[in-house]
Amino acid sequence: MKIIITGAAGFIGSAVARHIINDTQDQILILDSLTYAGNLESLVTIAQSDRYQFAHVDICNRPELDRVLAEFQPDAVMHLAAESHVDRSIDGPAAFIETNIVGTYTLLEAARQYWQTLGETGKKAFRFHHISTDEVYGDLHGTDDLFTETTPYAPSSPYSASKASSDHLVRAWLRTYGLPTIVTNCSNNYGPYHFPEKLIPLTILNALEGKALPIYGNGTQVRDWLYVEDHARALYKVVCEGEVGETYNIGGHNERKNIEVVQTICRLLDELVPKKPGNLANYADLITFVTDRPGHDMRYAIDASKIDRELGWKPQETFESGIRKTVEWYLANQTWWQRVKDGSYAGERLGLTR
């Protein structure tokens, strides 16, 4: 296949791109506007493949979308481009409305126009795969409840509200115009190349520097953690085998409280990096509880039985195996995260824009 992946210089998108180039024979064209979280250095290992192309394109730029769709002639679009950090959405919601809602609308219209130019066989085979989040469902109050594909939407933050809106647009374009769409909603991802503002990489890097490890509230918020490479495999399976009009929830079957996640990282670092900064006895001594964020959801948990039952996907990593791989990756790839932290990653394009 020929697949356009939006936002593939980001965390999840780059994992999808690496999976497709390394494990399939498909061609990809990456569209990314290279905002702060877009990092071409996450694509270095595949950038020399003759099945890889990159275009510096904003999904709100309709003429550019029309141009690349017409030139590349994709069989599928995997839409991952999004503003995704809840704290940033609280401080500045406008960017989330623009990218997640207006951008998705613009991409849908460009894809619809392109799709209408295809012959009947091409129209039938084409897929628009929209990648979303479990945060659109709000939070769970019981200890045994799970988000299913039919859970009502109840977003709590500007981020999750903007993603919920984009999900509705995608489904409407299927029902109104017949554009063959699929939606997936995933739980919290973690793993290599994760931008350092998020909980797990922030904890690893702060600990290595002897800085405070901030935890919102009392740290009892529960998340279902999904290793990003497991997610990439699931997304590729959906775009290849998923049914048009269906929604698939993708989860890691790994519920953990935030405080437990941080404590696990600290124990791993005690083992892997015993020489600690300063006079620190244990990395866990750096844990600091801070004022909770507004509207903070208490628990997310995914029922991923549908994608297992219908498409045969299940995660390969447990939280224990995935978090060890993640910590070891950050320890072995200091150049990558140091360039993110000092901002130098944004100043170079590495010649990857061919």
Go through 31-58 and write b for each residue having 16 or more CB atoms within 10 A of its CB, e for each that does not: bbbbeebbbbbbbeebbeeeebbbbbbb
Going from the C-alpha of 33 to that of each of 12, 38, 75, 232, 336, the distances in angstroms are 15, 8, 22, 21, 20
CB distance 202 to 278 below 8 Å: no
Q: Is the dihedral of CA 169, 232, 37, 207 positive or negative?
A: positive
Whether residue 135 lies in the annotated active site: yes
Which residue in the list 135, 139, 230, 255 is annotated as catalytic?
135
Measured distance CA(261)–CA(242) in Å, rounded: 32
Q: Which residues contact 92 (CB under 8 A, 6 or more apart)?
A: none
CA dihedral 156, 164, 2, 46 (to 10 degrees): -10
Closest among 105, 9, 87, 108 to 53, alpha carbons compared: 9
Please give the sequence-ordered ranges of beta strands (E in DSSP) within 137-286, or none if there are none: 181-186, 188-190, 213-216, 222-227, 247-250, 255-257
Whether residue 159 lies in the annotated active site: yes
Closest among 125, 107, 119 to 180, alpha carbons compared: 125
Which residue in the list 134, 224, 255, 317 is annotated as catalytic?
134
Measured distance CA(296)–CA(287) in Å, rounded: 19
Which residue in the list 52, 114, 137, 159 is annotated as catalytic?
159
Q: Is 310 strand, coil or helix? A: helix
Question: Which positions are catalytic?
Answer: 134-135, 159
